[in-house]
Amino acid sequence: DAGITQSPRHKVTETGTPVTLRCHQTENHRYMYWYRQDPGHGLRLIHYSYGVKDTDKGEVSDGYSVSRSKTEDFLLTLESATSSQTSVYFCAISGNIEAFFGQGTRLTVV
């Protein structure tokens, strides 16, 4: 299995609080992605990175920011969590080969 780890795996947070999800890879892949999975929508791209400090918005980027200061780490931040951000979040990596996914983080905003 590809070396990709998401943390935390589960989190419950209150509305209005900041939340950071971490994705760590050991494959030295160039591309990293954050998706969210919601019923009826499949997975939708939030943000992606094509290198250190090179990031871009995806389809559902509002309310989210990302940072990539090292090749191996890609952070997703919810500046002020809202109930609509309750979801399962997946990190993925690729190097112009097959995309590999992390185990997902279930985030609940109450």
Partner 1 sequence: AQTVTQSQPEMSVQEAETVTLSCTYDTSESDYYLFWYKQPPSRQMILVIRQEAYKQQNATENRFSVNFQKAAKSFSLKISDSQLGDAAMYFCAYSQEYGNKLVFGAGTILRVKS
- Which spans of this chain sit near partner 1 (rule: CB under 8 A)? 31, 33, 35, 40-45, 48, 58-59, 88, 90, 92, 94-99, 101, 103-104
Residue 99 CB, shortest distance to partner 1, in Å, is: 4
The rounded distance, in Å, linking the Cα atoms of 92 and 110 is: 26
- One-letter amino acid at 109 equals V
CB 92 within 8 A of CB 98: no
The rounded distance, in Å, linking the Cα atoms of 27 and 94 is: 9
Residue 53 CB, shortest distance to partner 1, in Å, is: 19
Residue 103 CB, shortest distance to partner 1, in Å, is: 6
Of the pair 59, 79, the CB lying nearest partner 1 is at 59
Of the pair 40, 79, the CB lying nearest partner 1 is at 40
Of the pair 15, 52, the CB lying nearest partner 1 is at 52
CB 23 within 8 A of CB 34: yes
Of the pair 14, 42, the CB lying nearest partner 1 is at 42
DSSP-derived letter for residue 99 is -
Residue 73 CB, shortest distance to partner 1, in Å, is: 19
- At 43, give phi and psi (nearest 5°): -105, 135
